[in-house]
Amino acid sequence: MEKLKKKFGKKAFSEPAEETPVVVPEKKEVLPNIKIVPLGAGQDVGRSCILITIGTKNIMVDCGMHMGYQDDRRFPDFSYVFKKIFLEKTFFFSYIGGGGRLTDYLDCVIISHFHLDHCGSLPHMSEIVGYDGPIYMTYPTKAICPVLLEDYRKVQCDIKGETNFFTSDDIKNCMKKVIGCALHEIIQVDDQLSIRAFYAGHVLGAAMFEIRVGDHSVLYTGDYNMTPDRHLGAARVLPGVRPTILISESTYATTIRDSKRARERDFLRKVHETVMKGGKVIIPVFALGRAQELCILLESYWERMALNVPIYFSQGLAERANQYYRLFISWTNENIKKTFVERNMFEFKHIRPMEKGCEDQPGPQVLFSTPGMLHGGQSLKVFKKWCSDPLNMIIMPGYCVAGTVGARVINGEKRIEIDGKVHEIKLGVEYMSFSAHADAKGIMQLIRQCEPKHVMFVHGEAEKMEFLKGKVEKEYDIPVHMPANGETCVIEVEPKMDIRVPLEKINKSIALDPNPSKLECPFVAEIVYDQEKETIDVMPSTRLVETEDFMPITLSLSEIIKVIKIDWNQIAADLIIYDPNLQQKNDGIEMFHGEITLLANNEKDTELEVIWDESREGWARVVRSSLLRYASPEQTPPPEPQEPSSPIPVNA
């Protein structure tokens, strides 16, 4: 109570008499308009926390911590909820100082995944602010979340000496309120509110959540990745999911990442060159996720090249990864599942646990160290030791929140003060995005799949959101919202009415109009590939919606064109008439948000690979025909140029 008096002023509170009962007025039935308020991650990256109101139901999705702050600003702005309660006079404000202060307001809390910027404030919210209601997350998140929260508590309290922080008991008591949920399981929170989880890729256990009240729904993505990688699959929702509003992260709203093969090739080359010169490479990562992705990549490269330079990872990283990936093998991609019985991909031959003092040993080495943004822990400790040697290199494989040491390093600062001491930054710095977030192409792809009536961007920078907002509104004619923290966004929803019409009246209406087009409908179906039986079948979309055993995929096609010599500048100049927004890279060209990609297929630049999504088949023919002028004499001429046409919409 005293803390809240200091925060809101004494006039807002009155001490309750013990005999006075708490009166909670009945909630009135209202039209189910959707109100959304970011308490964190509104035009910002970090401390994700979104308050969603559908009719009379209030849901909080994510409860993260901002890694760029060390004071109360790292927590979501929970004071907004109390002000909202007071202004709407939903409850007597003098009583919110008691236990369960948020319990009577929130119907449930949902956590999308275990990263601290999405779950780091959960014990603070439930045990210090006060919430006793249900908290939903997937089973992998439920297993991993308390481990990472306890690690973070140790860093803040045992190492940095903080006293105003949640305790180990707070974490345990918080996790007692957690209810695990399986993918595609419809969980009925109460008689009106239901939630359902969908696979999000990103990290083990990450999920998008559909929140439904009556006929209206919100699809909250959390962090997601539309591109499969070496150990996780791509994000996917079931066919037929059509939310009223899609709330999407926008971390990489203006980025279309380079081809994965080129990015991996560049990463391996930089690491190899540095260790061959005798330097050390530090790769800051979070304990689970990109660490496993890059470990698998380096392990196979070291094996192929017969290198004996030591690779270390932070203590406990492999043990944890093996435990969780073995327990939740069904959440990995098909390749990991198939080989897991014969060979555990996470038991590495060339990568071993970090030994005490190994960072001080002479000679080259590679170190995976946590955490990923250099905001503390082992990675910051080693960085301070290695940063002054120009032979060394730091490779930042993911996004860093503004204010962290990692963000300052990426921005090119040469002198950085850390813990009161100024450090000269002389080592090589490389930022290579292996981040498992959806890029601009992936975000547009999800919008195209879900066909929402509204889109909202969170978890991104305002300028980048504004850019993507314009593209979505122009291409899909959908209203896009991007509220700041504390700003309420109201979505006016149209009431839905079902009308029962007797079959005889429908038949009579058809009989009165002899037009044959009224008697039949276009055939819409899905092409389904059964991996076990190796068969292809055509199946009605309605049956797929009711089934959980299918994963929608997008087919990509490619063709190799032999050329005399690739001239990217000239090719880009020829193709820009088809896509004014094409992006020319060092090793290729991307068109239509990456749905058509041109890459060099050999080091001599005499083979050009054209890769296109099935949805761009029409434009791909035009592009391939335009490339005919560069073809070498032995190249078989592509088909005659044709105007792009809209193919029959068959989802694969």
Q: What is the CATH number of the domain that holds 564?
A: 3.30.310
Q: Same structural domain for residues 544 and 560?
A: no
CA torsion sign, 308 to 313 to 315 to 320? negative
474 burial via Cβ count (<10 Å: 0-12, 13-18, 19+): exposed
- Asked which of 470, 491, 512 is the last residue of a domain, the reply is 491
**Residue 35: its pLDDT value, please?**
95
User: What are the residues facing 631 on neighbouring strands?
Assistant: 563
Helices 290-305 and 317-327, packing angle to 10 deg: 110
**Residue 357: its pLDDT value, please?**
86
Q: Same structural domain for residues 339 and 370?
A: yes
Which DSSP string corresponds to 217-277?
EEEE--S--SS--SSS------TT---SEEEEE-TBTT--PPPHHHHHHHHHHHHHHHHHT
**Residue 312: its pLDDT value, please?**
92
User: Which residues have C-beta within 8 Å of that of residue 402, sequence separation ≥ 6?
Assistant: 45, 68
Closest CA to 237 of 550, 583, 587: 550
Q: Same structural domain for residues 169 and 57?
A: yes
- Coil, strand or helix at 176: coil
Cα separations in angstroms, 117 against 66, 252, 451:
6, 16, 28
- Asked which of 491, 514, 536 is the last residue of a domain, the reply is 491
Q: Same structural domain for residues 272 and 313?
A: yes
In terms of phi and psi (left: phi > 0; alpha: psi -120 to 50; beta: otherwise), the region of 161 is: left
Note whether residue 74 is domain-resident: yes
Q: Same structural domain for residues 140 and 269?
A: no
User: Which residues have C-beta within 8 Å of that of residue 395, sequence separation ≥ 6?
Assistant: 267, 270, 271, 281, 282, 283, 430, 431, 432
**Residue 512: its pLDDT value, please?**
62
496 burial via Cβ count (<10 Å: 0-12, 13-18, 19+): exposed
- Asked which of 397, 431, 465 is the last residue of a domain, the reply is 431
- Count of domains forming the chain: 4
Which DSSP string corresponds to 65-116?
--TT-SSGGGS--THHHHHHHHHHTSS-GGGTTSS-TTTTT-SEEE---S-H
- Coil, strand or helix at 160: coil
Note whether residue 122 is domain-resident: yes
Q: Same structural domain for residues 286 and 399?
A: yes
Note whether residue 477 is domain-resident: yes
Q: Same structural domain for residues 227 and 125?
A: yes
Note whether residue 419 is domain-resident: yes
Closest CA to 96 of 71, 79, 72: 79
Q: Same structural domain for residues 508 and 617?
A: no
Q: What is the CATH number of the domain that holds 394?
A: 3.40.50.10890
Q: Same structural domain for residues 220 and 78?
A: yes
Q: What is the CATH number of the domain that holds 54?
A: 3.60.15.10
**Residue 427: its pLDDT value, please?**
95
Note whether residue 482 is domain-resident: yes
**Residue 307: its pLDDT value, please?**
93
Q: Same structural domain for residues 285 and 408?
A: yes
Owner of token pair 């591109």: 227
**Residue 88: its pLDDT value, please?**
52
Spans in the chain with pLDDT lower than 50:
1-30, 89-100, 518-522, 638-652
Q: Which two tokens stand for residue 42?
A: 């509104």
Number of H helices, E strands in the chain: 18, 29
Note whether residue 232 is domain-resident: yes
Q: Same structural domain for residues 568 and 591?
A: yes
List the alpha helices (DSSP H) in 389-436.
405-410
Q: Which two tokens stand for residue 36?
A: 């959304």
**Residue 6: its pLDDT value, please?**
44
Buried b (16+ CB within 10 A) or exposed e, 409-443: bbeeeeebeeeeeebebebbbbbbbbbbbbbbbbb
**Residue 633: its pLDDT value, please?**
67
513 burial via Cβ count (<10 Å: 0-12, 13-18, 19+): exposed
- Coil, strand or helix at 280: strand
What are the catalytic residues? Answer: 249
Note whether residue 637 is domain-resident: no
Other CB atoms closer than 10 Å to residue 179's CB: what's the count?
Answer: 12
In terms of phi and psi (left: phi > 0; alpha: psi -120 to 50; beta: otherwise), the region of 363 is: left
Note whether residue 95 is domain-resident: no
Q: What is the pTM of this model?
A: 0.67
**Residue 104: its pLDDT value, please?**
84
Which DSSP string corresponds to 506-527?
HHHHHHH---GGGG-----EEE
530: domain range?
Answer: 503-548
Residues 600, 602, 607: CA angle, nearest 5 degrees: 60
Rounded to an integer, what distance in angstroms lies between the CA atom of residue 188 and that of residue 210? 12
Q: Same structural domain for residues 165 and 81?
A: yes
**Residue 524: its pLDDT value, please?**
55
